[in-house]
Amino acid sequence: MRAYYAAQPSPLVAATGIVLDRRGRVLVLTPSYKDGLELPGGTVEDTETPEQGLARELEEELDLSVPVGRLLAVDSCPPGALGRSLVVHAYLVGPLTDAEAEGIAYADGEVAEARWLTPEEAAEQLPERLAPRLRAGLAALYAGSVAHLVDGVPQPGSPAGLDPADRA
């Protein structure tokens, strides 16, 4: 797997969905191929936009064909375990109707389980590398803005980095 990523031009581009249901819960996934929880999404292919890549991943992983919503966050990550820098675009998906939420299926075998968690539960249970992205994306959703992150850290001027009580 590392060889594949190392052969790709830098930065890699990925897209993730902050998928919400009508109750405001967040969809988190247990992948079948590694430990820990994930948000839906994945690496964007070379002929795709981030929105197209996320739509493809939702269809492939979850048999979910819904519009990709607005951009919530962009997280630029330095080279890490995969050997390449990464730019992750996080988008709002939903809120899903009850029928859409109940119709989620594990289409391609990459997902072992899908769970709906409150935002607080999701942030607590997601890996340390993903929880800040979720928190910042939700903060941007409620602020009507876009969060700018570097390795999960909100950058100056990003409303996601401000305490909601301090926002004008």
The two structure tokens encoding residue 56: 């493809």
Pure H helices in 13-162: 50-62, 98-102, 119-125, 131-143
Q: Is 107 left (phi over 0), alpha (psi -120 to 50) or beta?
A: alpha
What does the pLDDT look like over 124-139, one tens digit per residue? Answer: 999 999 999 999 999 9
Domains and CATH numbers, the chain: 2-157 (3.90.79.10)
- Residue 115: predicted pLDDT: 95
What does the pLDDT look like over 95-154, one tens digit per residue? Answer: 999 999 999 988 788 899 999 999 999 999 999 999 999 999 999 999 999 999 999 999
* Cβ–Cβ under 8 Å, residues 134 and 38: no
